[in-house]
Copies of this chain bind each other. A is one copy, B any other.
Amino acid sequence: MPPLPDQSAPLDVARLMEPKGFSSVAKNVGIKDATLDFTVVFSEVPSAAAAVFTRNTFCGHPVTVGREHIRDGQLQAVVVNSKNANVATGPAGLEATREICRLVAGALAIRSADVFPCSTGVIGRPLPLDRIRAGIEGIRGELRPGELGRFATAILTTDTRPKLRRVPIGDAVLVGCCKGSGMIEPDMATMLAFFFTDARIEARALDHALRTAVDRSFNMVSVDSDTSTSDTAVILANGLAGDVPVDAFTAALTAMAEELAQEVARDGEGATKLLEVSVSGAPDVSVARRVAKQVVNSPLVKSAIWGGDPNWGRVAMAIGKAFDLPLNPDRVVIRFGGVAVYAGRDLGPEPLEALRTYLQGDTVAIGVDLALGQAHARVWGCDLSPEYVRLNGEYTT
């Protein structure tokens, strides 16, 4: 009988729960300060791959290059720097991203088109390419298996903690991690999210699984209604653990992405509470999503929840911002934590007192029934605190 893994050695445990054939390196190259700011993940064999990107038209240069490199559905490495987004930096910025891919490819002896680049951080500052160039030297010898936890740390910006999940699927393992704390209302994609698996899934099915997962998770989260220029989600499946049922894989990927999305909302800049808004009774899903996002993005709703103020009338206001709906306010129901506070009319002081107590918790669930149809949707966000403003009043200073 083989010895049990030593519980006091977290790296070994992590290695057991990481997909075969992936190794990584995370280091500081001095982009802004002394924290981890540069990281590479490498698969020993070419992987099937899929990615989705921000719809922001002022997108980062890594998004432009990433779109090119994902086209053939194959990747072998991911390179990420934090602390600088390489956005709005002109032609020199685009060339910097291409050079980083070439240098990483050279160091790992793989195709440049199989290197997927991401950058996250401040917009509009030249990338310190010389420091990154120096950092790339010697990465081949620095790659280690079982260290995706360091990868998850190196990609952070204003996040207060890494966001990492591992799950077995048959003989394979799926690892996912993401970063994102402000400038978060992804659309068709996410902040930065990475998934690595040794399951064997061909690129087309992988793309479908990723889009399904992202649509129900990262596209349903909003910290501040600002859609980043760099949002990217990418998945690599190197096949070393063999086939797995695609349905089970998609379900696991979606569940993991939903957990990571909630982590992003809960770790929103300055956030003290997770906000979950469920809208039912909508004429179709797109309306349900739109109304839910109106509520989760309302600065007045978010401020009231930060302050524990039972001001549910602001939810009514936020619902009404869908100007084109044939809404009948006399049929709408608004609930907090399952308790109705409005059902066609105000329900008096009693639910207000219950609401005041409920708002002391660290999760606030708002339910809205529009009484217009059968469709529903759920989104996640967070409260708006003075700390959010303070953080973002001095981000570059």
Give the B-binding residues of A (Cβ under 8 A).
55-59, 85, 87-93, 122-126, 182-183, 187, 224-229, 297-300, 303-304, 306-314, 316-323, 325-327, 329-330, 332, 341-342, 344-346, 384-397
Contacts and interface: CB of A to CB of B under 8 A. Distances in A.
A272 to B, nearest CB: 11
B299 A395 contact: no
Contacts of A385: 389
Nearest to A384: B389
Contact of A307 (B183, B304, B393): B393
Nearest to A57: B327
A24 B359 CA distance: 43
Contacts of A390: 307, 386
Given A311-B395, A323-B187, A389-B384, A57 B329 contact: yes
Contacts of A386: 386-387, 389-390
Most buried by B among A58, A182, A323: A58
Contacts of A313: 85, 87-88, 122-125
Contacts of A182: 300
Given A58-B319, A124-B346, 4 more contacts: A57-B319, A89-B346, A225-B298, A225-B299
Contacts of A387: 386
A300 to B, nearest CB: 5
Given A307-B394, A323-B55, A392-B303, A314 B123 contact: yes
B310 A226 contact: no
Specify how many copies of this chain sit in the oligomer: 2
A385 B91 CA distance: 36
A320 B122 contact: no
Residue among A90, A320, A346 facing the most chain B CB atoms (10 A cut-off)? A320
A54 B385 CA distance: 28
15 contacts: A57-B326, A58-B320, A58-B327, A58-B329, A90-B345, A90-B346, A123-B314, A123-B317, A124-B312, A125-B313, A225-B297, A303-B389, A303-B392, A304-B393, A385-B389
B330 A396 contact: no
B392 A227 contact: no
A321 B372 CA distance: 30
A322 B224 CA distance: 16
Contacts of A314: 123, 183, 226
Given A57-B322, A126-B346, A321-B226, A87 B393 contact: no
Contacts of A327: 57-58
| A-B pairs with lowest CB-CB distance, top 8 | A307-B393, A90-B345, A123-B313, A58-B320, A386-B386, A303-B392, A124-B313, A56-B320
B56 A395 contact: no
B304 A392 contact: yes
A124 B323 contact: no
B317 A183 contact: yes
